[in-house]
Amino acid sequence: MKTTLEMINRMQGDGVIGKYAIGGAVGATFYLEPSATVDVDIFAMLPKAGSSSLLSLAPIYEYLKAHGCDADGEHVVIGEWPVQFMAPSDVLEREALAEATETEIEGVKTWVMTAEHLVAIAIRTGRPKDHARILQFLEQDAVDTEKLNRVLAGHGLIAKWQQFKKKYRADTND
């Protein structure tokens, strides 16, 4: 992971990407017992393509190719990790990026989304694997319930949260 994060930090330093944060399953491992995952999800602010308002991943792929990394479908293999770069697609993801927590892995500074934002994004996405991860967060007391409720309320996710709790956590009051 060290080589991967060093390259991502280099990209940020060189202006290829702006602020970034690790999300998805790898982001969850900062709060939970590690689980198997195939890639690293990097949410990053991306420069706009010229005068267009469209965002382009081309500068990322070009930069990484010039630095010896290979594309593999929607991923770029950096070090030993397939990495998927994503621009935050909505207010929730932009907030998750803005409020990301600074941490260190193998001596390399990096940022990871908060547990509460990871749970909110998982609630919104709603796949079975997301539900399983949310249950892990809850069972391991890895979220601040008050902060989670504020994030969910702020992004219109209370109804989805109530549905999730009804289906999976009917025996609790959280």
Does some domain include residue 149?
Answer: yes
Residue of higher predicted confidence among 15 and 36: 15
**For 25-77, how does the pLDDT look when each residue is reduced to its tens digit (9 = 90+)?**
999 999 998 777 779 999 999 876 555 556 778 889 999 999 999 998 889 99
- Do 66 and 125 fall into the same domain? no
- Do 7 and 51 fall into the same domain? yes
**Which domain, by its residues, includes 140?**
117-168
HEC sequence for the chain: CHHHHHHHHHHHHCCCCCCEEEEHHHHHCCCCCCCCCCCEEEEECCCECCCCCCECCHHHHHHHHHCCCEEECCEEEECCEEEEEECCCCHHHHHHHHCCEEEEECCEEEEECCHHHHHHHHHHHCCHHHHHHHHHHHHCCCCCHHHHHHHHHHCCCHHHHHHHHHHHCCCCCC
- Do 67 and 140 fall into the same domain? no
CATH number of the domain at 95, please.
3.30.460
Query: Model-level pTM?
Result: 0.90
Does some domain include residue 173?
Answer: no
The residue out of 91, 113, 135 marking a domain boundary is 113
- Do 51 and 124 fall into the same domain? no
